[in-house]
Amino acid sequence: MKNTSYKTILSKFGDEQGVTGVLKYLMLIVPAFVIYSCIEPFSPPEVNNVETYLVVDGFLNIGGDSSTVILRNTQNTNDDTPPVTEPGALIVAESENGESYTFIEMGDGVYKLPPINANTATRYRLSIRRLGGREYLSDYVQVSITPPIDSVSYKLDQGQNAMLIYVNTHDLNSNSRFYRWKFEETYEYRTAYYSGLERDFEKRQVVSRPEDVSLCWRTLESRDIKLGSTVKLSENIIKEVPVNVIRIESNKLLFKYSILVKQYSLSREAFEYWTDLAKTTQGTGTLFDPQPSQVTGNIKSKEDARELVFGYFSASTEATKRIFINERLGSYPRCSPPDTIEIADVFETTGVLLSYYQDPTGVSYLLSSSDFCSDCRAQGGTIRRPPFWQ
């Protein structure tokens, strides 16, 4: 953890204003520089590359759950639309001893394979035939058997003012000493105000709200690549490896919080791939920036081995564990006092309606507040209680 502390600090110099800034700034040290230097847009043909490449995102889940592979295309760096998905492809997982499992296209580039009870002693590869007929093959990969998660624990770190989530596991039989974790975190949260009313635009009336929009659950997936290995240890035991850091000020822990940790064993090659991928930042090519790294994966085009294909195919079992945290840390959301609206003006305003209000003189108003303060869905959650919620 010591590592992260200074790296974060230094990245301040590396990325935001810092060493890139040094160069830009150096021109400012003397008025002459200010006058003479200039920054202009630079978009050579190589940066506006229109060529796209296949991205294979997914893995073969051996035993247990279904497997998902998503096919997408790369995009131009300037393109801010969602990536183009790849329909109509034929995806087959093939084993060395001749078994094959064909994925079913679910639409939107998603291909699914129902749970299989495959042979774990053999090696698998992924074969992809795109709609236009171009074929791709991954390297054969060994099946990694994931040991069950022993426990997921948590501890409050006063210094960082954050809750740390740890995972513990051990595997005394397997050769695989590399792990990757993903998680899904879900937290319950409430808005500052309760909204009991809403506008019925058809009838042009204020009606009472049928559902409670002050209580929501939001689920987020892990975005960072969390890796661990026991090669340096004498025993294949993972003890208290942090997989997530929840900052207290995020208020995720104020009501109830749950995390589903997913664990995968990795081959060494897969581990190195993810390690390198984790290093590719959105950092760029200034004079003072580190050399960017080029990571592709283990999938190659059959016709042209030099064609870029992104993604790493691996085959493993999955182990999961869910815990709940009910520590009530953080502070209740605060909002500015509600506004009062004249009842006649209600359809000219946009605020979320809370309730009626009668001032001491007996005049009635409507109280309203912002989305953020009174409709929890505005913060990205859902009012539907997750099925696993306890």
Partner 1 sequence: MKLLLPLSVLFFSIFFSRTSAAQNVPGKKVTMHLDSSRFTDFVRQVESQTGYFFYYDASRFDSLTLDLDVKELTVREVLDQVFKGSEFEYAIDSQQRIYITQVQRIITQLPPGLFDPDYVGPSAVTYEGPENDAKEKLLSTAESKLHELGVKRHRIVPGNSTITGYVRNAVTGEPVIGAAIFIESPSIGASTDALGFYSLTIPRGRQLLKVKSFGMRETQRQVILYSDGKLDIEMRESVIALKEVSVKAGMDKNVVGTQMGTVKLTIKNLKQVPTVFGETDLLRTVLTLPGIKSVGENSTGLNVRGGSADQNLIQYNDAVIYNPSHLFGFFSAFNPDVLKDVELYKSTIPAKFGGRLASVLDINSRDGNKKKFTASGGIGLVTGRLTLEGPLIKDKTSFLLGGRSTYSNWLIKTLDNENYNKSSASFYDVNLHVSHEINEKNSLFLTGYVSDDRFRLYGDTLYTYQNQLASLKWKHTFNAKLYGVLTASHTKYQYSMGAAGLPLNSFDLKFDINQSNFKADLSYVLNPKHTLDFGLSTIYYKLHPGSFQPRGPESLIMPDELEPEQATESALYIEDKFEVSPRLAITAGIRYSFYQYLGPRNVNTYVPGYPIDYIYQDGVKEYGAGKKIKNYGGPEYRASVRYSIFDNLSLKVSYNTLRQYIHLLTNTMTISPTDIWKLSDTYIKPQIGDQISVGLYRNFRGNKVEVSLEGYYKNIQNFLDYKGGDSLIMNHNIEAAVLNTKAKAYGVEFMIKKMTGKLNGWVGYTYARTLLRAVDRESLDAPNDGNYYPSNYDKPHDFTMISNYRFSHRFSLSFNFTYSTGRPYTPPIGKYLIDGSQRVYYADRNQFRIPDYYRTDVAMNIEGNHRIKKLAHSSWTLAVYNLLGRKNPTSVYFQTIGGKVSGYQLSIFGQPIPTITYNFRF
Residues 221-260 that bind partner 1 (CB under 8 A): 221-225, 227, 229, 231-232
Interaction with partner 1 in 137-176: which residues (CB under 8 A)? Answer: 159
Question: Measured from the CB of residue 118, what is the shortest distance to partner 1 in angstroms?
Answer: 22
Interface with partner 1, residue 33, by CB under 8 A: yes
Nearer to partner 1, 76 or 102 (CB): 76
Element (H, E) at 9: helix 2-11
* Sign of the Cα pseudo-torsion (59, 60, 66, 68, in order): positive
Among 6, 97, 133, 202, binds partner 1 (CB under 8 A): 6
> Of 266 and 354, which CB lies nearer to partner 1 in the complex structure?
266
Residue 172 CB: number of other CB atoms within 10 A?
A: 8
Angle (CA) 81-84-86 rounded to 5° is 170
- AA identity, residue 174: S
Residue 123: its H or E element: strand 123-129
Q: Which long-range contacts (CB under 8 A, 24 or more apart) does 293-299 make?
A: 297/56, 297/273, 298/138, 298/139, 298/141, 298/269, 298/273, 299/54, 299/56, 299/126, 299/128, 299/136, 299/137, 299/138, 299/139
What burial class does residue 111 get, using C-beta atoms within 10 Å of its C-beta: 0-12 exposed, 13-18 middle, 19+ buried? buried
Is 292 a binder of partner 1 (CB under 8 A)?
Answer: yes
Contact status: 2 vs partner 1 (CB under 8 A): yes
Stretch that binds partner 1, among 113-121, 134-142, 236-244, 293-301 (CB under 8 A): 293-301
155, 279, 302, 377: which one binds partner 1 (CB under 8 A): 279
Is 49 a binding residue for partner 1 by CB under 8 A? The answer is: yes
- Closer to partner 1 by CB, 275 or 355: give it: 275
**Which of 74/355 has CB closer to partner 1?**
74
Of 120, 286, 320, 355, the one binding partner 1 (CB under 8 A) is 286
- Judged by CB under 8 A, the residue of 117, 282, 331, 361 near partner 1 is 282
Binding residue (CB under 8 A) for partner 1 from 57, 150, 198, 327 = 57
Q: Does 187 bind partner 1 (CB under 8 A)?
A: no
CA distance 261 to 181: 7
- Choose the binding region for partner 1 from 114-122, 126-134, 276-284, 318-326 (rule: CB under 8 A): 276-284
Q: Indicate whether 184 belongs to the interface with partner 1 (CB under 8 A).
A: no
Q: What are phi and psi of 109, to 5 degrees?
A: 80, 0
Name residues whose C-beta falls within 8 Å of residue 3's C-beta, 6 or more positions apart in sequence: none
Shorter beta-carbon distance to partner 1: residue 37 or 205: 37
User: Given the rule CB under 8 A, which of 12-20, 128-136, 250-258, 334-342 is the region that contacts partner 1?
Assistant: 12-20
Nearest distance in Å: CB 25, partner 1? 6
Q: Which of 20, 144, 301, 314 binds partner 1 (CB under 8 A)?
A: 20
Is residue 228 a contact partner of residue 237, using CB atoms and an 8 Å limit? no
Number of residues that bind partner 1 (CB under 8 A): 94
Would you count residue 318 as binding partner 1 (CB under 8 A)? Answer: no
Q: Which is nearer to partner 1, 30 or 343 (CB)?
A: 30
Nearest alpha-carbon partner for 260 in 294, 292, 219: 219
Cβ-Cβ contacts under 8 Å for 35 (sequence gap 6 or more): none
Maximum alpha-carbon separation in the chain? 86
Site for partner 1 in 339-368 (CB under 8 A): none
Please, which of residues 60-119 interact with partner 1 by CB under 8 A? Answer: 72-80, 83
Q: Is 130 helix (H, G, I), strand (E, B) or coil?
A: coil
Single out the residue of 190, 248, 246, 193 nearest to residue 220, CA to CA.
246
Q: How far is the CB of 167 from partner 1 (least distance, A)?
A: 17
Between 29 and 344, name the residue whose CB sits nearer to partner 1. Answer: 29
- Candidates 245-253, 267-275, 324-332, 361-369; binding stretch for partner 1 (CB under 8 A): 267-275
d(CA 17, CA 11): 10
